[in-house]
A = this chain, B = another copy of it.
Amino acid sequence: MSGMLSWGIRSRAGRVTGELGRRWWAQGPAAGARPSALRAQVDKFGGVTVHLQQTDSTAHLDEVTFGAMLKDSLTQWKAEGRAAVWLHVPILQSRFIPAAASQGFRFHHAEKDSSTLTLWLGDGNSRLPMYATHQVGVAGAVLDETNGQVLVVQDRNKTQNAWKFPGGLSDPGEDIGDTAVREVLEETGIHSEFKSLLSIRQQHNHPGAFGNSDMYIICRLKPLSFNISFCNQECLKCEWMDLGELAKTKEATLITSRIANLLLYGYREGFDKIDLAARTFPAVYSGLFYKLYHRKLPETYENMPNLE
């Protein structure tokens, strides 16, 4: 599927960049005239994109006329050998969606003020890329290295009487470590800093994720404050607990017990045994940066010349 990864490049906030992207639907049908085909932008993967803008030219367009225009356009795009159609619809223009659906379009995704529908015209199954499939939750295991105590909570709403590490869903654009630090502060009042990534859990058909998949990551954090002031809405209890006690108790979720054992191993024999370290690198094209987590490399491997 990787060959199709760049289909329909656009951002949450913006739209297509460049001149072409801004001039959809340049010509609405003249009153009484036979509607012309829809204006579409061809992409480098052989598909076409149509934007229904909220302009005067669509304000007076009825759904039946739109359906006829779309039908004519589909005939043309098929004749031209186009592989797929992307249809972007502002929320206030949603009256056109049923006409598209009746010609085979289905929702690809929607958020806030617009939806995107797609129709695969190529051979075989659709090779269009999926929308996001995972939510990411992050928990922070805040460990006081001076005494081996770790910060644990009991949820008010779920898994009562089971100790766990404070955490929650990441916000859009938020780095894993930042989510852990933020959630720990919100739930417990404890300030902390990111040290390492400890574990990743992948779970599918997650009931709390609208049936999507869930990626749940536990980080090791270092406490910067110690006075607990926990959120009563979210937590029933919050304590500093001995790592050995947390590793032994039956009153903990399975994953918490397991990570308590991992932390105990690290606490006793060195955190380098359990940590994935984070490092920031520049992305190739975008000018943005990414974070990469893996086992720490010894100096001799770290400083190889190609990484300069």
Contacts and interface: CB of A to CB of B under 8 A. Distances in A.
Interface of A: 1-3, 5-14, 63, 91-95, 97-98, 101-102, 106-115, 129-137, 155-159, 166-176, 183, 186-187, 197-205, 207-213, 215, 233-234, 247-250, 252-255, 257-259, 261-262, 264-265, 273-274, 276, 281-286, 288, 290-295, 297-298, 301-302, 304-307
B101 A107 contact: no
A267 to B, nearest CB: 11
A140 B187 CA distance: 38
A2 B234 contact: yes
Nearest to A167: B2
A59 to B, nearest CB: 12
A102 B98 contact: no
What 10 A-B pairs have minimum CB-CB distances, sorted nearest first?
A: A2-B168, A110-B110, A12-B211, A11-B211, A94-B97, A199-B294, A107-B110, A203-B290, A132-B132, A3-B234
Contacts of A209: 132
Contacts of A202: 175-176, 290-291, 293
A247 B129 CA distance: 31
Looking at A115, A210, A255, A295, the one whose CB has the most chain B CB atoms below 10 A away is: A210
27 contacts: A3-B155, A3-B157, A6-B207, A10-B211, A11-B210, A91-B101, A91-B107, A93-B98, A94-B95, A97-B97, A107-B110, A107-B114, A108-B110, A130-B169, A132-B135, A133-B170, A174-B204, A175-B202, A175-B204, A200-B294, A205-B288, A248-B304, A253-B284, A255-B281, A257-B304, A257-B306, A261-B301
